[in-house]
Amino acid sequence: MSRIIPITDYETSELAPLLSQAEKWMGFQPNDGLIMAHKPNLLISFFNFAKAVYEEGMIDQGLKRMIGHLSSLTSGCEYCSAHTAYSANKFGVPEEKMKAIWDFQTSTLFTQKERVVLNVALKGSMVPNQVTDEDFDELKKYFSESAIVEILGVISMFGFLNRWNSTLKTQLESKPDSFYKSLKTETDE
C-alpha cells in the first residue's frame, strides 16, 4: 500500500479533466498522479512537464519509453519500470526487446543508435552521474541538440518519478503490474 493514499474523489474534483486525459493516455488511472493530486498545482505542473516530454518530437515514442524503462530499472523503481515496460509495448516495442534491455550493449535486438541513447540513459540515471564527454560525442553522431534535449527530458522526468514513487511506495496498478510480471524471467525473481 502507498505511504500516502491516492485521492478517490478525482471524478468530481477540479482535476477531473486532467486525470481523465491521463487515463486515456495510459489506459488506467495512475496512482502516482492521484497522490500528486493532494497538491493540485504539483499535479498540474507535472502533467504539463510530462506532456512536453512525451509530445511528438524527434524521438520515437517507443524509444522514449525504453529510455524511461532503463532509467527506472537503474534507479530501482519498480513502479516506473512497470509503467514504462507497459507503455513501451503499447508503442510497439516487442516484449523480447524489453526483456533484453539490460543487454542492450550486446544484444542484436538493439540498433547502434539505440545503444548510444540507452548508454546515456543508464549512466545518466546513476548517482553520481556517469555520463562522459565521449558518451555525449557518440550521442551527437546520431542526434541533433534538440533531440538530445528531448532525450534528457525523459531521463530527468524519470529521475523525479523514480524518487517520488520509490519513496512513497506507490501501489502499482493491475495493467502495468500484470505486463511487467510477464516480462520477468525465473532468474529475475
CATH number of the structural domain spanning residue 177: 1.20.1290.10
Q: Are residues 32 and 111 in the same domain?
A: no
Is a pLDDT exceeding 50 seen at residue 27? yes
What is the pLDDT at residue 124?
Answer: 98
Q: How many domains does the chain have?
A: 2
Looking at the domain assignment, is residue 188 inside a domain?
Answer: no
pLDDT for position 187? 42
Residue 10 banded pLDDT, cuts 50, 70, 90 = confident
60 pLDDT tier (thresholds 50, 70, 90): very high
Range of the domain at 32: 7-55
Indicate whether 185 pLDDT > 70: no
Contact partners, residue 101, CB within 8 Å, separation at least 6: 66, 69, 70, 73, 118
Angle at the Cα of 101 (from 98 to 106), degrees rounded to 5? 130
Whether 44 and 128 share a structural domain: no
Query: Predicted confidence band at 188 (pLDDT cuts at 50, 70, 90)?
Result: low
User: Quick one: pLDDT at residue 13?
Assistant: 87
Residue 2 domain-assigned? no
49 in a structural domain: yes
Query: 129-167 pLDDT, tens per residue?
Result: 999 999 999 999 999 999 999 999 999 999 999 999 999
Q: What average pLDDT score do residues 27-40 get?
A: 96
pTM of the model: 0.95
Q: Which spans in 16-144 are helix H? A: 16-26, 31-36, 40-54, 61-75, 78-90, 95-99, 112-124, 133-142
